[in-house]
Structure 1
Amino acid sequence: MIEKLDALLAEVSSFNAAEKEEIEKFRIRFSGKKGILNELFDQFKQVPNDQKKDFGQKINTLKQAVAAKLETLKNASAVAEVTEKGDLTKPGFPLTLGSRHPISLVKNRITEIFKSIGFAVADGPEIEDDWHNFSALNLPEYHPARDMQDTFFIEKNPDVLLRTHTSSVQIRYLENNEPPIRILSPGRVFRNEAISARSHCIFHQIEGLYIDENVSFADLKQTIQYFTTELFGKSKIRMRPSYFPFTEPSAEVDVYWGLNSETDYRITKGTGWLEIMGCGMVDPAVLQNVNIDADKYSGYAFGMGIERIVMLLYQMNDIRMFFDNDVRMLEQFKTS
């Protein structure tokens, strides 16, 4: 029996293999449940008492030799794999960090400005009905002002359409909430317009609404003054009379951009002024349409196109760039 153990020790010592399959066969032959070591331990009971000490030591020596050989072979196999495939312990290639779209960056910035003075964000569906998109906003059927917005209708249904402005969100909010109300409604809108460098059939708006007792045009002007100072760093604004069906009186807001460079002359057409939004006092008829007492409450509303603001801030001259998903352009807006 001792001679058999010596032969096995010699076999283990001389064994060598590089393939994982051969190493696994070696492990199973010696250390498996039906392997040589378990058979030897079973035979230990039959060994004469005067030989048990030497036999037990030999078995333990064999067991340790098998374990050491397996460890050596596995390490050698791992080194060979690293040599063949490269160092698997090295860090992988760094993942390229994405970046926010410039429209998202500016939308978030505008939202934070208005949140700082108490505005909450409200959201609504992009597929709307006639009531929320037109009629409740003082644009009844056949009203000529509807021609101001070329509309995408769903399946030729005159009552289901893609919203043409986020004012529809304000109507939904007014229907379900009591004044005081101070909300901001950013979102994507759709108009059936030809796509060019200055216009697109899809764009983004952000509109604000404030309804409470004794709200005046002075409150509106002060809010817009604060906004333009925070976003553009320019506090000089002017308001020109305009017309919107859902506000009365209505105004267009210009900010004084200045004439400090050739670019300033180009984007302001030599005037130094830039139009940035429309605004006005909410028409009492709109409040009545959503069951709010127009004798007790008043309010103001404003709205702007986000793409126009982005183009001003980043000096971009083609609105189509926002929808092309050109990585070369988007990578310029990486954020931490």
Structure 2
Amino acid sequence: MRHSPNSFSKSEKRLYMAKQRITNELMSRFYAGKATGEETEMILLAAEQNPDLKEEIEIMMSISNKLADIHISKERTQKVSPANVISMTATYLPMYRLAAKSREYGHDMKAPNDCVVRCEHYLLQQFGIKTTVESLTEQSRGKGWLKVGGTPLHHIGRLLSEFYRLSVVRRYDCEYDLINKELNDGCKIIAVVNADKLYSNNTERNIPNHAVVVLSANDKQVRIYDPQHAQEETHPTTNFMFAWQDSHYYIISVTKRGVRKYNPSPIDASSFKLEGDLEELMEAIAENAHDIWAKARIEDKWTYGDVRDDKHKKHPDLVPYSDLTESEKKYDRIMARGTLELVQRLGYRITKDK
């Protein structure tokens, strides 16, 4: 039996109205960061009851602008690429956003989507760098990193590295012990958590929706700075781990440049095998990568030479990809395979047009 809107409860009526008002034009403004707080709240309310909309928002808030263009327009993808992204389920790059309406954690925050900026401001203070939350907010919005819904995970820390010349490393799948190691090495840590689980053990939503600064950690408890409360807090380690897991144990490690002993930790994608058609795409990517490299060298006045000579800009690899030896092609193939494995590890599926 279909009920009329007049028979709905107040909350049901709000949800009904939200669904009716979600238009393509509104969603476009939302993704561009131009929706109002009221519109953003309405969209997120509708997304809670609409898995497809929720998934779309998670993807669009997590991926780069280029991938966003692909998701919006498959026709454009078919024109510019031999592969067509037909399904993008963000199983590994979760969305980071906070609702436009302030969560009630006993504070009086008016803009809860700025907690990343507030974490970054807190760290800058620790490094003796004077600035304001307002100026950081303006810088982040100007670059498109801070949106109405929050800051995507891969943009956290960019203010610190690109404006203030700090060394920033982002890591997924971190062991708990790594936090202590980084802290002992003099690094500052931002961790992304699920605030619902951290403060109330609410398991209804598995979304990483809050950033905190980790000050210390041991087997029993974790001390954090929560920007929404603007104070230091202590939580049981088990609670913190429960809340941290929804970001796939994601941290941002920050220190001064020239201090860090760099230990690259790429995302492990080795368990993801390429499908048959992607082997062909891997070779195409490898050849294209070589062409891009060669074009840049030639534009910089490099020419072919039997032996590499940096002084006279001679290089033996300035030949067509097919003329390279198998050992020389190996580097480009490793890069191409790693790229495709990573795409799959991040939850995207690529299929070739028939």
TM-score normalized by structure 1? Answer: 0.22
Structure with bigger strand share is 1
TM-score normalized by structure 2? Answer: 0.21
